[in-house]
Amino acid sequence: MDFKTLILRFRDLDIAENETIKRHQSIIDEKDYVWWAWWKKGNEKTPQDEFGALNTQADNSPIEVFLVDSGQRKLYKALCAQIKANKNKKIESPEKDATPDYYRNSTYHAWFKFTSITECVEDELRNYSYVNVDSLFSEGEVNYTCFDNKQIYSIKELIQQERTVWFVRESKDTDSQNEIVLLNSDYVQPNNFSKKYFQSHGSSLLWLSDLHLADSDFSVDNDETTKSLFEHIQGCLSNVQDEIGGLIITGDITSTAEKNGFEKATKLIDDLSRNYVFTNENIAICPGNHDFKFSQKDLDVDEKPKAVSKLYTKAYSNFYKSVYNISPNEYYCCGKKILLSSGHVVEIVALNSLYLQQHQNFNGHGYLSEKQLNFVATEMGWNNKKARNVIRIVMMHHHYLPVCYTEAIDVKRASSVVYDADRLMNWMIKHDVKVLLHGHKHKSIVAQVTYPDTSFSNENNETQMKKISVIGMGGTGCKHTQNLFGTLGFDDNKLYIKFYQIYSDESSEDSEYQTIVLPLER
């Protein structure tokens, strides 16, 4: 048999919380074993052969099975010494006096003899992967083949499935590790670009930038005297927690592509995800110039830079995979489609403005490339589809506009604007993008750019002008500078941006810093 053991689902029904386990445990304490019924759902059939195979194994030596409490999301391990099952009819408990009194006179299709039940941690599930068993459901009625040979992600992933038993085996390195989220009998598989709209529970987007977590003054851990970065964010948003429906990070997650900075970012995202219900479908991240390593070789005077090499993006790629459960594409870009609870539909593209390989004497330069822009338009389905009732947002790390009052004049260093800024703006105008977000210089900026739409002219051959809002965050975790994060909300065809100022040394109280309202042209 392909499976090793099984997981049974239960819930405290018509009894107090934890009573199911307590009542079974009390009988084990008295008799050294208890009979546990399988409370199957109406769409399930009794897998007689599979139960029989496990029973044969249990006859030789008790097998370890798992019990999932779907009400409290707790996990238990039980030692099973025997299984009695009948696929044709319900049967009585093999020993009524070894069955809890609240159901000992009822009949069920299967009974399990447990000699012990102990609570365990959810992480133990990740040691196992799903095995599809066709005999559990009628043909064509339910299809869970998408879970086959995939590592179990969480209790949440289990209980969203309309079933009460799973057959599992020990996980292998070759098994998929992504989370599958079922939505109205559909599911979300990891993709660099969303294939469908993700239904979010919130109406606004949380925006972070330039975290520099490898050497930030903000910690991702808290202690008796210091708040974590998560706690700073959570404190500012305590009154609007339920409104947060997605996460945007515009680059510079770490400082010089250090692994420990990405590990801290993973913890920060995990903390945020537990609080605001973020998944790989409502998180958009782009890399910054501090997220890819430099080549140790200088670029020759007459040498043209090449596209970034995988040798220098390994740490970022591993971080990306930890967030999205999939490796990045060749451009290190992604796109997400989100339906906010307010009814607004947003399409977010995270571009990689670090397309060119960085060298010791050529770093910090921003470039996107025509190839990347064409690739993104195709993956997002933008080439033949206008943005009707959709708000399209583009994000990148580098600037479209200068943001500093004056730039340092240095012939050996680049300015902060992407080299192909005009190509980017024409591309955004063509595809009805309304908002461009960026980070990089640790200085916030808000502007609106009016640009000609060369793809359209009226009967008088007059070119139509369109507006795009350009917003720079500044930094969320930088040293020696103002630190901000923001939220983006939408209402009455307007974009509402709230910036919050946070203090790593707690020299001042974190607070709402600025609110900006920008019109979104139809």
* Domain definitions of the chain by residue range: 5-187, 198-519
Instruction: Give the pair of three-digit tokens for residue 27.
Output: 């009988």
Q: Which amino acid is at 210?
A: D
Instruction: Give the pair of three-digit tokens for residue 209.
Output: 């930038």
- CATH code, residues 5-187: 3.10.590
Give the model's pLDDT for residue 412: 66
Entry pTM: 0.67
Give the model's pLDDT for residue 142: 66
Give the model's pLDDT for residue 139: 64
Dist. CA 58–CA 84, nearest whole Å: 11
Query: Is-same-fold flag (5-187; 198-519)?
Result: no
Dist. CA 65–CA 136, nearest whole Å: 18
Could you say which of 3.40.50.11540, 3.60.21.10, 3.60.10.10, 3.30.429.10 is the CATH number of the domain covering 198-519?
A: 3.60.21.10
Dist. CA 312–CA 331, nearest whole Å: 13
Residue 401: half-sphere exposure toward Cβ, Cα within 13 Å: 18
The secondary structure of residue 499, as a DSSP letter, is E
Dist. CA 110–CA 50, nearest whole Å: 12
403: nearest Cα among 417, 423, 421: 417
Give the model's pLDDT for residue 240: 84
Give the model's pLDDT for residue 223: 74
Q: Mean pLDDT, 10 residues at a time, over the chain (522 residues)?
A: 93 80 97 95 87 96 95 93 95 97 93 98 96 82 81 89 92 88 58 89 93 88 83 90 91 90 92 85 95 87 87 93 90 95 92 90 88 97 84 95 76 75 95 95 89 76 88 89 93 91 90 92 66
The secondary structure of residue 359, as a DSSP letter, is B
Give the model's pLDDT for residue 441: 86
Residue in the block written with tokens 């870009």: 333
Per-residue 3-state assignment (H helix, E strand, C coil) for 109-154: CEEEEEEEEEEECHHHHHHEEEECCHHHECCCCCCCHHHCCEECCC
The secondary structure of residue 281, as a DSSP letter, is T
Give the model's pLDDT for residue 334: 98
